[in-house]
């Protein structure tokens, strides 16, 4: 694995571990698989297991803008009965009004200056299906400095990573 990719995965694991105080790892956070551009990460927290299909952007525009790492996540949290929850960490301070484009569909995002999630939760299933069926996702945001930021994520390996994340967080007592 290239050094840059290894560094990004380490940053990703740390970002996941620090995402929310109530979800701080009480055990391990580990990358359990890699499928093309996507990683599967499992974290043991005080509230239970969290499983993520996660990727870093393949292209960031404009080039040369100083910003931190960015990541796109699809999360499963069995303790909260959450499956396939979309979120994005921008790696810069956004001013709002972000959108996700995948195929011929556009989804409005909402969040805080650091990240976002899908605005209309009723669209989340449709979004994940579109991600499984397309090659790229673009996140368009406006920085607090007034620059349009476009991050492009490749979807190669997404379907496999999502399936693995679901399996990692599956309830062993479930019949579904």
- Structure confidence at residue 155 (pLDDT): 98
Note the pLDDT of residue 64: 85
Reduced to 3 states (helix: H, G, I; strand: E, B; else coil), residue 22 is helix
d(CA 101, CA 173): 37
Tens of pLDDT along 118-162? 999 999 999 999 999 999 999 999 999 999 999 999 999 999 999
Over the Cα atoms of the chain, what is R_g? 15
Mean pLDDT over 45-61 rounds to: 94
Going by pLDDT thresholds of 50, 70 and 90, the confidence category of residue 7 is very low
What is the average pLDDT across 43-58? 94
Q: In a 3-state reduction of DSSP, which class is residue 155? A: coil
Interval 82-129: pLDDT, tens: 999 999 999 999 998 899 999 999 999 999 999 999 999 999 999 999
Structure-block tokens of residue 170: 């599956």
* Pairwise CA distance, residues 150 & 171, whole Å: 37
Return the axis-axis angle of helices 158-168 and 124-133, rounded to nearest 10°.
130
pLDDT given for residue 4 in this prediction: 38
pLDDT of residue 172: 57
Estimate to the nearest angstrom the gap between the alpha carbon of 148 and the chain centroid: 20
Q: What is d(CA 169, CA 43) in angstroms, rounded to the nearest whole number?
A: 10
> Cβ(41)–Cβ(51) under 8 Å?
yes
pTM: 0.82
The residue assigned the tokens 């694995």 is: 1
Domain 3-168 part of CATH 2.60.40.1880 = yes
Task: Spell out the domain ranges in the chain.
Answer: 3-168
């Amino acid at each position: 694995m290239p050094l840059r990719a290894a560094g990004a995965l380490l940053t990703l694991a740390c970002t996941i571990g620090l995402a929310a105080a109530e979800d701080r790892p009480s055990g391990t956070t580990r990358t359990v698989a890699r499928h093309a551009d996507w990683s599967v990460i499992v974290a043991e927290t005080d509230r239970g297991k969290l499983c993520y299909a996660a990727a870093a952007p393949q292209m960031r525009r404009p080039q040369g803008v100083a910003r931190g790492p960015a990541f796109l996540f699809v999360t499963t949290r069995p303790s909260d009965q959450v499956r396939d929850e979309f979120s994005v960490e921008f790696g810069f301070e956004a001013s709002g009004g972000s959108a996700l484009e995948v195929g011929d569909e556009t989804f409005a995002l909402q969040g805080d200056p650091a990240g976002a999630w899908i605005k209309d939760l009723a669209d989340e299933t449709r979004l994940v299906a579109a991600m499984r069926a397309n090659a790229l996702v673009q996140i368009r945001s406006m920085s607090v400095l007034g620059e349009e930021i476009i991050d492009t994520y490749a979807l190669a390996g997404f379907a496999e990573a999502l399936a693995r994340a679901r399996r990692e967080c599956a309830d062993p007592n479930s019949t579904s």
